[in-house]
Structure 1
């Protein structure tokens, strides 16, 4: 199983360089740099942050986990932006996509929250067509047919998008048992659609290590999720000790996960090395 690490993009510390973080993550052998997405929150925009990381690295993948795709209302421009990043990074972009469940993000973007599914489908149709035929709009992505797509969510609609457009599925950060319980349905949807091979299975988790890790992780997750079941499940599944990280990484590997991306909460550049040491990189 590959191990990725998220960029420090939530409530970003202006003294913590994404460039230094990305370079250190690549040197330590992480498989990917991940980036999460919100509109109504103090965080860096994912494609922009990944572009900065791309310019500082040469091998590590660049993954949105996840990007709230329907918020990108100009679908041709979104396709162009993604193709540009894929081209400039040498084909390292992986787009984890989902519509999201927070209405405030859509309200701030002056988009109809109830129509986010239709907006998502329209975006996918436009982007995949543009990446394949270009429709007079460049650049041509480095990855033939466009960046690899992973889809979050477990509704029938989410699985339909996965088998129609995607290479696999990306799970939320609610713990390995939640991830394991959803895999049979993902794999069955893949088989029912007559897709070759197996879907790529990616999981996400939250971590903090070092002094004050548990408090940093709890406060950060409580701020990010604000309310609902996600806050309870995510805090319970958060990893704040080396022992918990090691145990959870092993459990995800045993569950059949192809890549686990661990997102940081607080701390400095030392978080890269602390995590790499725990997972054996």
Structure 2
């Protein structure tokens, strides 16, 4: 199982360099650098943050886990931005996509929350055509043939349908391995029902905060980020990892469940978090 690490992009410390974090993560052997996405929050925009990380590295994958796709209402421009990042990074971009559930993000961008599903479908149609059709007039062509790999996040029937039609796999939320494992039969069923060959790529996500004040940092950060999410916030805190032993157990549990890649997202702290996590997972 591959192990990825999130960028410190939520409530970012201006003194903590995204480039330095990315270089250290690559040096320590992480497979992926990842972002999560909001509009109405103090966070770096995902594709911009990944572009900075791309310029500081040469091998590590760059993953949105996830990007709130319907908020990118100019579909041709979104496809162009993604293709540009994929080309400039040498084909390292992986797009994890989902519609999200926070209405304030949509209101802030003037995007119709009630029709986000239809907007998502239109974006997928435009982007895949732009990436795959050699006669499409909008460039550049992505470095990855056919466009960046797409994974879809969520626990709904539309998620499964989009994955089966357009994706290479599924991303689980950071509520623990039991939640991840419970949804896998539906992922596999949707994949087989669509006649897809091979196996879907299965990606898990988790939150971590290591060090002496890790438990407090994780709780404070997650309750703030998920302030409007009700029980989801507490579930995220309960599933969070604050000791090397917890990290090691969770990694083993995800691997046993059949996860192909686990991405762990930091919650505060400095550059030392990269090394603490690398040590905990055996990199």
Return the alpha-carbon distance in structure 2 between the equivalents of residues 109 and 205 of structure 1: 28
Question: CA shift at 1:212, angstroms?
Answer: 0.4
Residue matched to 2:257: 255
Residue matched to 1:233: 235
Runs of 4+ in 1 over 4 A off after TM superposition: none
After superposition, give the CA deviation of every residue in 1:67-121 in whole Å (9 maximum; x if it has no partner): 0000000000000000000000000000000000000100111111110000000
2:39 equivalent to 1:39: yes
Residue matched to 1:158: 159
Return the alpha-carbon distance in structure 2 between the equivalents of residues 219 and 113 of structure 1: 28
Return the alpha-carbon distance in structure 2 between the equivalents of residues 260 and 153 of structure 1: 16
Return the alpha-carbon distance in structure 1 between the equivalents of residues 161 and 231 of structure 2: 25
Question: CA shift at 1:154, angstroms?
Answer: 2.0
Residue matched to 2:103: 103
Residue matched to 2:190: 189
2:61 equivalent to 1:64: no
Residue matched to 2:73: 73
- SS of equivalent to 1:105: helix
CA RMSD of aligned residues (A): 0.6
Residue matched to 1:201: 202
Q: Which runs of 5+ in 1 are unaligned?
A: none
After superposition, give the CA deviation of every residue in 1:163-201 in whole Å (9 maximum; x if it has no partner): 100000001001000000000110111011110000000
Residue matched to 1:92: 92
After superposition, give the CA deviation of every residue in 1:120-150 in whole Å (9 maximum; x if it has no partner): 0000000000001152000000000000000
User: Which deviates more, 239-248 or 67-76?
Assistant: 239-248
Return the alpha-carbon distance in structure 2 between the equivalents of residues 280 and 224 of structure 1: 29
Residue matched to 1:137: 138
Number of residue equivalences: 281
Return the alpha-carbon distance in structure 1 between the equivalents of residues 110 and 76 of structure 2: 19
Residue matched to 1:148: 149
- SS of equivalent to 1:53: helix
Question: CA shift at 1:211, angstroms?
Answer: 1.5
Question: CA shift at 1:153, angstroms?
Answer: 1.0
Return the alpha-carbon distance in structure 1 between the equivalents of residues 231 and 197 of structure 2: 35
Matches within 5 A, 1:211-226: 211-226=212-227
Residue matched to 2:117: 117
User: Which deviates more, 29-38 or 227-236?
Assistant: 227-236
Return the alpha-carbon distance in structure 2 between the equivalents of residues 174 and 79 of structure 1: 30
Question: CA shift at 1:230, angstroms?
Answer: 1.5
Question: CA shift at 1:155, angstroms?
Answer: 1.3
Residue matched to 1:13: 13
Residue matched to 1:171: 172
Return the alpha-carbon distance in structure 1 between the equivalents of residues 139 and 89 of structure 2: 15
